[in-house]
Structure 1
Amino acid sequence: MIQTRSWIATSGGPHLLIADEQLSHWRGLEGWHDHTADQSDYARACRVTTWLGSIACHHGKAVVLSGDAGDIAWYSNDHADGGFLVQWIGVDDERLIEPALRTPQLRDLLEGSAAEQLEWETGASGKMWLIDAADRGCDLSGNHQALALLPGSYLAKAAYYRSSGLSMVVREVCRSR
């Protein structure tokens, strides 16, 4: 299958969405012993079990994308004020994803009471990094991606979406007004 997006993998733990201004302060696996007791950045991220969570990082917060295993790709909107973080759970053809993001069924899931929600802030630059939580921010060894957002407050909503040939966790990112 031809892939049209950059899919960010992890080494088994959660993904992280972190502001450019906080990135160099993220220590990843540094100091990690086991995720149930230590206070390493990676262990704290691993303790988040939902699709959306946040943990402290330096003078800000990092958004933890956990709950399911699967690579994540960014589908931005045309206005640089949001988009979708799509987590690949089971996809027969990547070309099915983009049309699914515009379906009333997905909209209903994201607006429903079962959808997870999280409010968060970008840094002053608006640049956010999608990384493996195990990586050190100052030495990104795995694949990663920079997301160019307008600076400000955002609301993320997460839901599980399934249709014929498609199974994914969708996290919609929208700028708060």
Structure 2
Amino acid sequence: MHWLGKYHVQEYVSGIPPLALNPEPGEKVVDMCAAPGSKTTQISTLMDNIGEILANDIQRNRIRSLLSNISRLGCVNVQVFERDGRNLPEEPKFDKVLVDAPCSAEGNARKNSDLINGADIDVITKLSKLQENLLEKAFRLWKNGGTIVYSTCTFAPEENEIVVSKFLDYGKLEKPVFIFPIHPELQNGKT
């Protein structure tokens, strides 16, 4: 049934960013770091396959997985790009922007014993600069009044709270930006 596109396996927490994004049918959405595609395909499902999704990733080997998942799940409203997300063209503007940023993955410590004591600070520092740049680009891709969701699978404040704080100071933002708390209702087997 999995190969027929009847379901897609992902961790519970991976389903939260698309729910926070709350895409609607007919909207334009960009997933800046999309591979392997679990969030992209969830977004497409939430949009009833109506509208446009630009799914971007920089890594060619991960794009194969992205394309496979899009095809297997019948997501006909997705276009795939292979680019550094920091270099995406700034037109057209998007109603919704997802930045599920590359991170130190401390949230995966239960699967990777090297992360039990946290990630290397040099790795965190390098990634936080990339995350800042991706979030700044997301702002330039975003239509006023739309939604940007920034997410990681790490605990490091340098990759989360500090990145968002620096973004809020980014050039004294020419468009109004508000942070909203989310309270997703996750039920077993439902999004």
Answer 1 or 2: which has greater strand percent: 1
Higher alpha-carbon Rg: 2
Answer 1 or 2: which has greater helix percent: 2
Q: TM-score, normalised by structure 1?
A: 0.29
Q: TM-score, normalised by structure 2?
A: 0.28
